[in-house]
Amino acid sequence: MNGNLRAVSDLMAFVAENREECRLQIGPSSWDELTDVHAAVWRKQITHERGRPLVNDEHYVDDHALSQITEHLPELGEKYPQVMRMLLLQILTGRRASEITMCSFDCLSPATDRAIEAAEGEQVARFCYAQSKIDRAPDTILVDAEVVGVIEEQQQWVRERFPGIQSRYLFPAHNANAHGNKHISLRQYSSTLHEFSEQVNITDSNGRPVRLSKTHRFRHTRITRLAELGLPVHVLQRYAGHANPTMSMHYVARREEHSEQAFLATRKFKADGTTVTFSREDHDGMQLFNRADRFLPHGYCLLPPLQTCDKGNACLTCSVFVTDSSHLDTLKRQLDETEALIQRQTSAFQARHGWPMPEDNVWLVQRTAERDALVKLLASMQEAPGRPCQGAGSLTAGPTPITIDTTRHRGTQP
């Protein structure tokens, strides 16, 4: 059944690409109204084999292969300038091949004032592509100056190739297109890239050949890279032009390398997961929030999840406690209340027993340590405004080592 569906789809695509020749052979008929959409509808019905993953790393073009493609682009541009720019647009935007080949000539429009302001001075524009696969899906995205440059270069090339004619498409067909109302066919685009791939022999980091004719992998790559940058799912779906976020997630390659990098960047564990080191510079760079395991009313606790706490509520005397000037008023109020509490309790003790509270009293020792820690924290904030300060380690230079037991939380091995 899949074979029959492919045959019908290929036939419709062939007729749509050669409409004039077919009319000469079979005469006027309903085939005259055939478009690429009809072929896409039939091809969409092809079923995939069960158990076969929809997406894997083979759909992802790594940096090793992309560097080779960039190196050989001038060779492609000398002979096929249109194909080179089409390939560039697919790499930079992640659009489907059909969305590029059928793109209209006037596909750029100014971006909104809000988008320009958010770009912070960078040149941005709105790119309208030929969305013909999914009903009610968006057909525009914001693009940067690099994409705008490629499109404007192609527009100038078309004006020189078809002087005095307003081309309908950004990438017009090479032959039998005197009026400029035909776009380059997917078959021609794919065959040109296939031929070029045989000449340059591009491979990925594992030595596997990368066929440029399989242009859909550039869409997988672009969506994967955006997902790895941390784009929210609904934003990723909007950029990809998908009807639901599930389809967008199918496009994201499950790269083991990125999973490990993301884990290490988030938690700052060493490769063996045994020891982590926090320094004041780290606190500044991460702005405390990415490291905080617990949020406290007067600061943040940086204790890793795998380590238990034996301090109770005495966070002020803990080296893993960090705070900053945003909690200055709270810390000052806590210092005043702590001093008042010590004065009140020691006075009540002396009134009750007739002698002062001993200095080694457990309660007094803990409250005094908290008061001293607060004094140190406030003094450190005055010396270095805007810098985070540690609790008991506020006057200690250098990083504070934290040892993590990575086996205690696991079950007993047989």
Interval 54-65: pLDDT, tens: 445 567 888 888
* Three-class SS of 327-359: HHHHHHHHHHHHHHHHHHHHHHHHHHHCCCCCC
pLDDT above 90: percentage of residues in the chain: 18
- Sheet of 124-128, strand order: 108-110, 124-128, 140-144
Contacts of 4 (CB under 8 A, 6+ apart): none
Interval 212-225: pLDDT, tens: 888 989 998 898 88
Mean pLDDT over the full length of the chain? 77
Angle between helices 2-17 and 36-44 (to 10 degrees): 170
**Could you tell me the pLDDT band of residue 31, with boundaries at 50, 70 and 90?**
confident
Q: How far is CA 178 from CA 20, 161, 175, 232, 279, in A?
A: 13, 10, 8, 46, 69
Adjacent-strand bridge partners of 128: 140
**Could you tell me the pLDDT band of residue 126, with boundaries at 50, 70 and 90?**
very high
CB 134 within 8 A of CB 242: yes
Report the C-alpha gap between 143 and 129 in whole angstroms: 11
Interval 129-139: pLDDT, tens: 988 777 677 88
Interval 231-284: pLDDT, tens: 888 888 888 888 778 888 877 766 655 555 555 454 444 444 444 454 444 444
Chain centroid to CA 406: how far?
30
Report the C-alpha gap between 183 and 249 in whole angstroms: 31
Higher pLDDT, 351 or 253: 351
Report the C-alpha gap between 104 and 89 in whole angstroms: 14
What is the predicted pLDDT for the residue at 413? 44
Report the C-alpha gap between 223 and 215 in whole angstroms: 14
Contacts of 96 (CB under 8 A, 6+ apart): 133, 216, 219
Report the C-alpha gap between 265 and 290 in whole angstroms: 10
What is the predicted pLDDT for the residue at 121? 66
**Could you tell me the pLDDT band of residue 3, with boundaries at 50, 70 and 90?**
confident
Among 103, 254, 217, residue whose Cα is nearest residue 168:
103
Query: What domains can you pick out in the chain, each with its CATH number?
Result: 1-50 (no CATH), 53-257 (1.10.443.10), 270-403 (no CATH)
**Could you tell me the pLDDT band of residue 367, with boundaries at 50, 70 and 90?**
confident
Give the highest mean pLDDT range of 84-88, 305-309, 395-399, 400-404.
Answer: 84-88
Element (H, E) at 127: strand 124-128
Please name the amino acid found at residue 208.
R
Contacts of 238 (CB under 8 A, 6+ apart): 138
What is the predicted pLDDT for the residue at 190? 92
CB 134 within 8 A of CB 241: yes
Average pLDDT of 290-312? 53
Adjacent-strand bridge partners of 263: none
CB 331 within 8 A of CB 298: yes
Among 114, 99, 86, 393, residue whose Cα is nearest residue 240:
99
